[in-house]
Amino acid sequence: MNITLRTLIAAAGVAVAFSASAQTATPNIDQRQANQQARIEQGKATGTLSKREAARMEAGQAKVQGMKQAAAADGKVTRAERKAIQKEQNKQSRRIHRQKHDGNKK
């Protein structure tokens, strides 16, 4: 009976650990961050983003990353937090697009 009780307690502990990590997982946000960073790198490589513009875009990406870390700090990223992060990502995406297509070169 002790073995069965221990097994149940261990299984419950594992379930709690997985559910906690699932609540802070943000794969869509992570993928979008990676895509936007790649757009910035591509802009730097082709010269459509100056060093100053690229630095500003990367600061925007850092802001989004900070928002994500702050949201996950309590162990759960809520729907409202995800929405706020996505709103900021939309803003950063528009900025990247505008800066890459404004005609300024290195």
pLDDT above 70: residue 5: no
pLDDT band at 2 (very low <50, low <70, confident <90, very high): low
DSSP 41: H
Q: Is pLDDT above 80 for 93?
A: yes
Q: How far is CA 11 from CA 8, 18, 50, 75, 86, in A?
A: 5, 11, 54, 20, 35
Cα–Cα distance, 37 to 35 (Å, whole number): 5
Q: Give the distance between the most distant pair of CA atoms in the chain.
A: 74
Percentage with pLDDT > 70 across the chain: 78
